[in-house]
Structure 1
């Protein structure tokens, strides 16, 4: 008789628990999941302004880019030195997602730097939080990968 009472009590608790779960659970109706229009997120274009550092360079020898306004400037960085590689135009993205632009080089400024690019233009690509471009020096061309600092 005692065993029947324990089983009955356990069954009652189980039924009560299941009933409370069904009544108190969260609703997944589409009306509950809709966001008000003001709260909907709009994909914005990436803000590329700031300082970017080469991720595929050496610890003490790398390129660093600074984007401000409508200019991108890239320098070779080594212990105790900073040498201009590129300075030119920058066009900010107008849509979210991948983005590329052609930078027109400032030949007057680059003419003063021994390590500056001799290119008139340079192609840049932004994708997945990274800027990439080709850099050439001493007959070697490398794809540079930059991450925002």
Structure 2
């Protein structure tokens, strides 16, 4: 009996080793899929923008940005009118990212005769996470206007 125990143990180990699912071939590991990420590009701010933080759904500011200019109007839907607030230079983002700031220089020829236009020589704009913001002062009150692309 003592002689059979070691033989049974060896036999058991032999069967356990043989029951492995390894087929004996060395399969190459699966190649990891790599997707080439497109290089990050600067945000494209050109197009139409509308104020999202107005106190009125019918009175707000809207902007149009082209390759070189930003134009902002006061909109009054109640009497179907628009009034110029700002016409100035636009400097497009040059680097990829979620934020961008630029200083716009006012186009005096386009704004000097507009009653509701800003008379500031320059205006600072900030783009962050899909929103353009800037300060507007009217009748002694300053607010930050927020615009989203339409």
Which category describes the TM-score, using the shorter chain as reference length? Answer: 0.7 to 0.9
How many angstroms does 1:62 deviate by?
0.2
Residue 115 of structure 1: aligned partner: 116
Residue 129 of structure 2: aligned partner: 128
What is the CA deviation profile of residues 109-138 of structure 1, one whole-angstrom value per residue up to 9, with x for unaligned ones? 111110000100000000100000001111
Secondary structure, counterpart of 1:33 in structure 2: coil
How many angstroms does 1:49 deviate by?
0.3
TM-score (normalised: structure 1): 0.76
Match of 1:51 among 48, 51, 68: 48
How many angstroms does 1:69 deviate by?
1.6
Asked if 1:87 is matched to 2:74, the reply is no
How many angstroms does 1:40 deviate by?
2.3
**For the residues of structure 2 that align with 1:138 and 1:88, how far apart are their CA atoms?**
22
Secondary structure, counterpart of 2:109 in structure 1: helix
How many angstroms does 1:68 deviate by?
0.8
Asked if 1:70 is matched to 2:71, the reply is no
What is the CA deviation profile of residues 4-41 of structure 1, one whole-angstrom value per residue up to 9, with x for unaligned ones? xxxxxxxxxxxxxxx9xxxxxxx8x6x41323xxx321
TM-score (normalised: structure 2): 0.75
Q: What RMSD, in angstroms, separates the aligned Cα atoms of the two structures?
A: 1.5
Asked if 1:40 is matched to 2:37, the reply is yes
Q: Which runs of 5+ in 2 are unaligned?
A: 1-20, 22-28
**For the residues of structure 1 that align with 2:141 and 2:114, how far apart are their CA atoms?**
18
Q: Which runs of 5+ in 1 are unaligned?
A: 1-18, 20-26
Residue 3 of structure 2: aligned partner: none
Secondary structure, counterpart of 2:32 in structure 1: helix
Whichever of the two has the greater Rg, that structure is 2
Structure with the higher helix share, 1 or 2:
1
